[in-house]
A = this chain, B = another copy of it.
């Protein structure tokens, strides 16, 4: 019951947020963060002024848009921003003029190979304007190259600020797990809203746990410039404290699961993600860091080098609807969102329990006298005793739980209740790590 409610919730949030015209700056970002703040009251919203330097980058002018259209000689709006905000090239400068199709055509973008789709195009750092439309519609317009059109983009590009959201959920240690998602695409579902809604559901789950070991840093930022700005203010602290992190993007459809490793593929985040995916998901696509494309480009860059990887459903750039109007609410589903949510939740649950354990007696303990042998000997209980003995055999204080599970060939999630039984029986102890000091 709770599960179904959760499903509906995430999809409903995506539906609510879909119409907003987001970009890397502007009121669309603010509206989105205000909506999420109602769900996550501790979400802090920050504004970073245009012109602020962030490493090699500068926060650009803020872009806002009220309306935009192409009107034909008959006075009909044949391309209308109010119907689909993908129709305007992101960061288009204002325009208000009349021209023939031949002139206008230089400002049009369509996809010959996907003739029904409106492409998603932006031009953040070079001033221009443009409209996106389907190849089919453009072909109709091509019939009459001399036709005149009235073009209007009621946008503004002025010094303002870049907006982002940050939620810190404190744990019992200062060691942190990072979740990062982006809020800078207009009406796009898998490659935009799936990220914030799954991240919001994860934040709600984490908040409800009684005693998290780790502190959670959860970011809702514009892609690229947002993570660069955020890192320029926080990376030294994050570098010291982050034990694992996940970029949450493209987590909404239900076709597949994907994994994109960190730069070297050898971090705790990678280890947890691969372990969960291997045991929970029948098949998943394993990409290379060479296939990266979201904020891990910044998180994993040299010297910053945070332990961050990504788990996606259909990965950006790898599904036909990517960066078009076909990446809409029909593409994602409650089931797709829920699948990604539960994989990421399990990664978090695993990381919370992924400690180094050490047996408290030398040689094998006598399980019988402690009632740790099952009363009824079934195939399942036999397997559980073997798992328990194997866990004990490798609990030498050097391996963490995932290492042991990988050696034994079982899901680490299944070992967690056994760990708890053995700790209760005073047979196992946690090895103190940096985080306890």
Residues of A bordering B, CB below 8 Å: 54-57, 125-126, 224, 227-228, 231-232, 235, 263, 289-290, 292, 297-298, 300-305, 358-359, 361-366, 368-369, 386, 389-390, 392-397, 408-409
Contacts and interface: CB of A to CB of B under 8 A. Distances in A.
16 contacts: A54-B363, A55-B361, A55-B362, A56-B362, A56-B363, A56-B366, A125-B366, A125-B368, A227-B363, A228-B364, A289-B393, A297-B364, A302-B393, A302-B394, A302-B397, A303-B396
Contact of A363 (B125, B231, B361, B369): B231
A393 B300 contact: yes
Determine how many copies of this chain the complex contains. 3
A235 B362 CA distance: 10
A57 B290 CA distance: 54
A63 B289 CA distance: 63
A166 to B, nearest CB: 18
Contacts of A301: 359, 362-364, 392-393
Contacts of A390: 290
A233 to B, nearest CB: 12
Contacts of A409: 290
A308 B57 CA distance: 46
Given A290-B408, A393-B289, A298 B364 contact: yes
B396 A363 contact: no
A228 B364 CA distance: 8
Contacts of A232: 362-363
Contacts of A365: 56
